[in-house]
Structure 1
Amino acid sequence: MSFTPEQTTELIRRRRAIFPKTYIDKPIPKAIIEEVLENANWAPTHRFTEPWRFRVFTGDSRARLGERLAELYKMKAQGELFSERKYEKNLQKPLRSGCVIAICMQRDPEESVSEWEEIAAVACAVQNMWLTCTAHGIGSYWSSAKALQQDREFLNLQEGERCLGLFYMGYHNLPELPGKRGPIEEKVTWM
């Protein structure tokens, strides 16, 4: 099967950040989650280090993730900084999602490529995930989840591994959203 340039362009330009607050209560089939992950596995990778690693939260594990995110928020936002609304948002966001995937990077033990190249490879893997979700009509959103990035124990991170955020996924009923990009001519210098 081949894809036309027009089909490829349409898929890329239809990709949007769709936030969990808009997700509906509809489970994502495991086969689609596996396809999303397999497509991530086909991202470009310098020297074939394949640095992407994933922790998948579905079913009851989403509640444990929400509890941990809320707990981390509560520990950070002491006193006047604490907001009950933000606490509840952290608690509920994973539960609103059909699936949440922790995006992790395993640093090449040989350090044969620079760290930024491995981070870029993981970002390419996430783009593949995002495009696959878009093709299936699944909304998705990559959150930095800063507090969780430091929680090595909860994610069972291995030596040389770090968390780069959470990828939320869920079906939604939103109409197709318009894209917002400035003109490419403002961002290109021809040499």
Structure 2
Amino acid sequence: MSANWINDLIHNRRSVFSKQFAIDDPVDDVIVQQLLENANWAPTHKLTEPWRFKVYSGDGLKEFTNTHVKAYETLAGERFSEAKLEKIKQPLTCSHMIVVAMKRHESVPFIEEVAAVACAVQNMHLTAQAYGIGAYWSTGGVCLWEGAAQKFGFEADHQLLGFFYVGNVAVPSPKGKRGAIEEKVLWIK
């Protein structure tokens, strides 16, 4: 391993969205297992390892869609939109859907647990990049609503933190852009 290799990996990591995935070309489960194994090595305060995952693939993607629809219908309340419901009902075009949750440990501040799960997801993103597969983490909608984790079969002390879509890339993402780091850092010597 070289510093240049890791720099290139980080600089070239991109979110690859469902519309960019190859249809009917599933990612090998062995690679998805490696994504999860690398997620498990994220930093974690007090070694609480708060990340929890549920993986849907093949016919299981239909189960995910049905669960997502039911969660939206029961939790949306005043936020309900028929257009959003119809979008959720659309068949998924990803190879694997990884539901990301956080098991809450009261001995650790909430933000530290969220940060640990985010690091786990970044490990999955970087692993996907290294394997040449596409992935993205969606964190909006039902993910933000209280009780959503339980709709996906997680326990009461868990919080849903998003959906991680995985697929083989048919259409690559454009080159990334970032502003100059000098605009974001103040050195004090």
Q: Which residue of 1 aligns with 2:119?
A: 124
Kept in 2: contact 1:97–1:170 (CA 8 A): yes
Helix, strand or coil at the partner of 1:96: coil
Q: Distance in 2 between matches of 1:69 and 1:175?
A: 28
Q: Which residue of 2 aligns with 1:47?
A: 46
Q: Which residue of 1 aligns with 2:96?
A: 99
- Runs of 5+ consecutive residues of structure 1 not aligned to the other structure: none
% identity of equivalent residues: 42
CA gap 1:128/1:7 in 2 versus in 1, 3 angstroms: same
Q: Once the 2 structures are TM-superposed, how far is the Cα of residue 102 of structure 1 from its aligned partner? A: 0.6
Q: Which residue of 1 aligns with 2:15?
A: 17
Q: Distance in 1 between matches of 2:177 and 2:165?
A: 21
Q: Once the 2 structures are TM-superposed, how far is the Cα of residue 72 of structure 1 from its aligned partner? A: 4.6
- 1:40-79 matched pairs, under 5 angstroms: 40-73=39-72, 76=76
Kept in 2: contact 1:40–1:129 (CA 8 A): yes
Q: Which residue of 1 aligns with 2:135?
A: 140
Q: Once the 2 structures are TM-superposed, how far is the Cα of residue 74 of structure 1 from its aligned partner? A: 5.6
Q: Which residue of 2 aligns with 1:190?
A: 187
Q: Distance in 2 between matches of 1:175 and 1:147?
A: 28
Q: Once the 2 structures are TM-superposed, how far is the Cα of residue 71 of structure 1 from its aligned partner? A: 4.6
Higher mean C-alpha deviation, range 148-157 or range 158-167: 148-157
Kept in 1: contact 2:100–2:163 (CA 8 A): yes
- 1:71-90 matched pairs, under 5 angstroms: 71-73=70-72, 76=76, 81-83=81-83, 86-90=84-88
Q: Once the 2 structures are TM-superposed, how far is the Cα of residue 112 of structure 1 from its aligned partner? A: 2.2
Q: Once the 2 structures are TM-superposed, how far is the Cα of residue 66 of structure 1 from its aligned partner? A: 1.6
Paired residue type of 2:33: E
Return structure 1 stretches of 4+ with deviation > 6 angstroms.
none
Kept in 2: contact 1:11–1:131 (CA 8 A): yes
CA gap 1:72/1:49 in 2 versus in 1, 3 angstroms: closer
Q: Which residue of 2 aligns with 1:32?
A: 31
Residue by residue, what CA displacement relative to the aligned partner does 1:38-80 show, whole Å, maximum 9, x if unpaired? 00000011111111000111111211212333455566488x9
Q: Distance in 2 between matches of 1:190 and 1:174?
A: 40
Q: Distance in 2 between matches of 1:176 and 1:42?
A: 27
Residue-pair matches, total: 184
Q: Once the 2 structures are TM-superposed, how far is the Cα of residue 153 of structure 1 from its aligned partner? A: 3.6
